[in-house]
């Protein structure tokens, strides 16, 4: 079925790429994305701004001596109008600070909840040689107003104060299998718990020095060399059994 729209922005040079069940049309006109919705036509940048999208935070290129962001095509729209995709030029820069603009897709969800969303991508990993676990996560990209996070091990909250970073070090963890979940704390509510991250905390032996080399030095002495062990334990000193000499290497944890 062919639809005709009476609007000053849709004319012969326009291309439309998708249409929703609500007859919302998305497309491109003169290198600028447009959206036709509810009998009106909007440039994509105006439509996004009016619907709460802060384009200044989306890394979209703004050409010199212009006042609009390079959202040059509205590509797709879901049947219910709640999801749209756009082609944009990003504002990437090279090592010298010059623009290295490239094209990419931006997907926007409308009419979505922005509070009460739980964290995603939760990971838990034991530090080698230690009964400590590093837990990390990411906030939901649609979440707004997060004050901090709570960390749960095996269903029990383990942080005494609200965590404001996106990772947490859980020290002195009992050996065995454990499950970690994270919640996001908003102004007036705590989210549901995230998906679980599983980790097995195992006993790990101290590593020994490697690549020992010994050579006679003079009449009654020996010269020795070795490499430090690869471990997350801090190596304070090496000490020979005859108390002849103590070598200090400082405290250098490798995590």
CA angle 37, 42, 45 (to 5 degrees): 125
Task: Say what the pLDDT of residue 112 is.
Answer: 74
* First-last CA distance in the chain: 62
How many whole angstroms separate alpha carbon 224 and alpha carbon 221? 10
Task: Say what the pLDDT of residue 94 is.
Answer: 82
Task: Say what the pLDDT of residue 154 is.
Answer: 97
Task: Say what the pLDDT of residue 236 is.
Answer: 47
Task: Say what the pLDDT of residue 231 is.
Answer: 58
Task: Say what the pLDDT of residue 160 is.
Answer: 94
Task: Say what the pLDDT of residue 248 is.
Answer: 45
Q: What is the 3-state secondary structure (H, E, C) of 132-189?
A: CEEEEEECCCCCCCCCEEEEEECCEECCCCCECCCEEEECCCCCEEEEEEEEEECCCC
> What are the pLDDT digits (tens) for 45-68?
999 999 888 888 888 998 778 888
The DSSP line for 94-137 is -TTS-B---EEEEEEE-S---SSPPPEEEEEEEPTTSS-EEEEE
Positions in the chain whose pLDDT score sits under 70: 1-14, 205-206, 230-255
Task: List the structure tokens of 67.
Answer: 């006042």
Total-model pTM: 0.50
Specify whether the CB–CB gap between 208 and 229 falls below 8 A.
yes
Task: Say what the pLDDT of residue 254 is.
Answer: 39
């Amino acid at each position: 079925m062919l639809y005709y729209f009476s609007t000053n922005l849709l004319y012969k040079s326009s291309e439309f790429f998708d249409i929703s069940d609500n007859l919302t049309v998305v497309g491109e006109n003169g290198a600028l994305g447009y959206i036709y919705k509810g009998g009106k036509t909007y440039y994509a940048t105006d439509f996004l701004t009016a619907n709460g999208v802060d384009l200044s935070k989306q890394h979209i290129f703004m050409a010199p001596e212009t006042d609009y962001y390079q959202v040059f095509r509205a590509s797709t729209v879901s049947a219910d109008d709640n999801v749209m995709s756009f082609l944009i030029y990003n504002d990437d820069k090279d090592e010298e600070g010059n623009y290295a603009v490239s094209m990419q897709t931006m997907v926007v969800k409308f009419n979505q909840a922005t509070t009460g969303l739980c964290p995603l991508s939760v990971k838990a990993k034991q530090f080698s040689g230690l009964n400590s676990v590093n837990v990390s996560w990411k906030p939901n990209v649609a979440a707004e107003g997060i004050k901090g996070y709570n960390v749960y091990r095996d269903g029990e909250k383990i942080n005494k104060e609200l965590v404001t970073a996106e990772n947490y070090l859980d020290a002195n963890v009992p050996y065995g299998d454990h499950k970690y979940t994270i919640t996001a704390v908003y102004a007036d509510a705590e989210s549901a718990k995230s998906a679980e991250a599983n980790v097995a905390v195992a006993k790990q032996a101290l590593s020994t020095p490697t690549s020992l080399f010994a050579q006679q030095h003079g009449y009654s002495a020996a010269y020795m060399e070795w490499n430090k062990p690869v471990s997350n334990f801090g190596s304070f000193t090496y000490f020979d059994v005859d108390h002849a000499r103590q070598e200090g290497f400082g405290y250098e944890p490798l995590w």
